Amino acid sequence: MKIRSGRTKSNLRKDGRSSKRWGFVTPLVFILPNFLGFSIFFLFPVFFSLYMSFTKWGILTAPKFIGVNNYLKLLFDDKLFWISLKNTFYYTALSIPLSVVVSIILALLMNYKLRLTNFYRSCFLIPYVTSMVAVALLWLYLYNYEFGLMNHLFKLIGLPPQEWLISSRLAMPSIAMMSVWKSMGFGMILYLAALQGIPEIYYEAAEIDGASFWSKLWHITIPLLNPTTFFYVIISVIGSFQVFEQVQIMTDGGPGNATTVYNYYLYNNAFEWFKMGYAAAMSYILFGILFILTILQKKLFSRGWMGY
């Protein structure tokens, strides 16, 4: 029995299966396009960025090696760096817990075997797939103090009109609320899938023991959703450090510096003020921050914050 094998050597291994030792050509052909794109636009930039972070590099000037000066300046001599970091964490604290709660509630509602689930799901998906630019512009209009829908609705129910994006106190919460609105669909689908994976047996056993609705929710459902929450929180934290369009379009980082988030400050450094080495250092600090946060979250969730 001859096996047509092209460029291969087929040796019979001890267990009788032929070992597939292919030459370089076939894998090379398959991997080449993706690898080419990957190495030029992903792998190479990672290292080049590291190099850049140790230089002073303007748009027209040649790069000048300055060691760790960028990092030192960022950490010890740049107020706006720390402000942007604080703002980003503030945004995270505002948006993530709310997102998680809303998503879980929506998923629980959808899980109840109602009809029209497709319709509801479509409704919640629409804000999610819309570009952040369009959403930001839309909400810029909705949040307008004089003629925006939000203040109109507030007046309808008897509340005073708010300054929303013009107030340094409310600007960041406004942006956070918009983000929660936009990502409801994603979280809902995520938690719904997780809910559908919880075996019925757990609930049945609890009912036999006389568990109430709340007790089932608190002691079975929520702890079993922990891995999903962990995943969602990590994704959201990474996402909150990528906030850009909202700030650029709605507030320009203001009022004052109230909404200057990390990514916005980074972009300005790189492409408005052309301090590209400085911005590269910011990007590596960002990498470090996300890395640490991920590890922290892993520790937090594995210990079981519910005590289970």
Question: Interaction with another protein in 65-104: which residues (CB under 8 A)?
Answer: none
Q: Does 107 bind another protein (CB under 8 A)?
A: no
Binder to another protein among 83, 85, 107, 110 (CB under 8 A)?
Answer: 110
Residues in 131-150 at the binding interface with another protein, rule: CB under 8 A: 131-134, 137-142, 146-147, 149
- CB closer to another protein out of 156 and 201: 156
Q: Does 126 bind another protein (CB under 8 A)?
A: yes
Stretch that binds another protein, among 22-30, 80-88, 201-209, 253-261 (CB under 8 A): 22-30
Binder to another protein among 101, 130, 207, 295 (CB under 8 A)?
Answer: 130
Binder to another protein among 76, 119, 214, 308 (CB under 8 A)?
Answer: 119
Residues in 201-230 at the binding interface with another protein, rule: CB under 8 A: 227-228, 230
The least CB distance from residue 226 to another protein, in Å, is 11
C-alpha dist (Å) from residue 286 to 21, 22, 240, 262, 282: 42, 41, 12, 8, 6
Binder to another protein among 9, 38, 256, 302 (CB under 8 A)?
Answer: 38
The least CB distance from residue 289 to another protein, in Å, is 9
Q: What is the dihedral of CA 152, 156, 159, 163, to 10 degrees?
A: 0
Q: Does 243 bind another protein (CB under 8 A)?
A: no
Residues in 177-196 at the binding interface with another protein, rule: CB under 8 A: 181, 184-186, 189-190, 192-194
The least CB distance from residue 284 to another protein, in Å, is 7
Binder to another protein among 9, 20, 169, 298 (CB under 8 A)?
Answer: 20
Binder to another protein among 216, 231, 293, 297 (CB under 8 A)?
Answer: 231
Binder to another protein among 40, 68, 295, 306 (CB under 8 A)?
Answer: 40
Residues in 252-281 at the binding interface with another protein, rule: CB under 8 A: 263, 266-267, 270-271, 276, 279-280
The least CB distance from residue 109 to another protein, in Å, is 5
How many residues interact with another protein (rule CB under 8 A)?
Answer: 101
- The DSSP result for the chain, as a single string, is -PPP-TT-EEEE-TTSPEEEE--SHHHHHHHHHHHHHHIIIIIHHHHHHHHHHTEE--SSSPPEE-TTHHHHHHHHH-HHHHHHHHHHHHHHHHHHHHHHHHHHHHHHHHTT--S-HHHHHHHHHHHHHS-HHHHHHHHHHHT-TTT-HHHHHHHHTTPPP--GGGSTTTHHHHHHHHHHHHHHHHHHHHHHHHHHTS-HHHHHHHHHTT--HHHHIIIIIHHHTHHHHHHHHHHHHHHHTT--HHIIIIITT-STTTT--HHHHHHIIIIIS--HHHHHHHHHHHHHHHHHHHHHHHHHHHS-TT--
Q: What is the dihedral of CA 133, 135, 137, 141, to 10 degrees?
A: -170
- CB closer to another protein out of 2 and 79: 2
The least CB distance from residue 270 to another protein, in Å, is 5
Look up tokens 């689930």; give the residue: 117
Binder to another protein among 9, 43, 205, 207 (CB under 8 A)?
Answer: 43
